[in-house]
Amino acid sequence: MDTPLKRLRVRQGLTLKVVSKASGIDVGNLSRIERGLQITSLSNAKKLSKFFGGEVSEIEILFPFN
């Protein structure tokens, strides 16, 4: 299932590896976060939101299906 985080990454043409390296989040964990299979920490949500310039919020990352 697509989450706001995954849709944004794909729309920007970025790979999981690129986002993983830039955010410091393990690529496997990032993949699970994107698919909504793993809830991440607020710290990681902030890193991802910052990486994407606020185009995806921490709330959208923490609660992708609400």
Q: Domain residues of the chain, as ranges? A: 4-62
Question: Is the whole model's pTM more than 0.85, yes or no?
Answer: yes
The burial of 20, by beta-carbon neighbours within 10 Å (0-12 exposed, 13-18 middle, 19 or more buried), is given as middle
- The mean pLDDT of 27-56, rounded to a whole number, is 97
* Residue 9 in this model has a pLDDT that exceeds 80: yes
* Residue 1 in this model has a pLDDT that exceeds 90: no
The fourth-level CATH superfamily of domain 4-62 is lambda repressor-like DNA-binding domains (1.10.260.40)
Report DSSP letters for 13-27, one per residue.
T--HHHHHHHHT--H
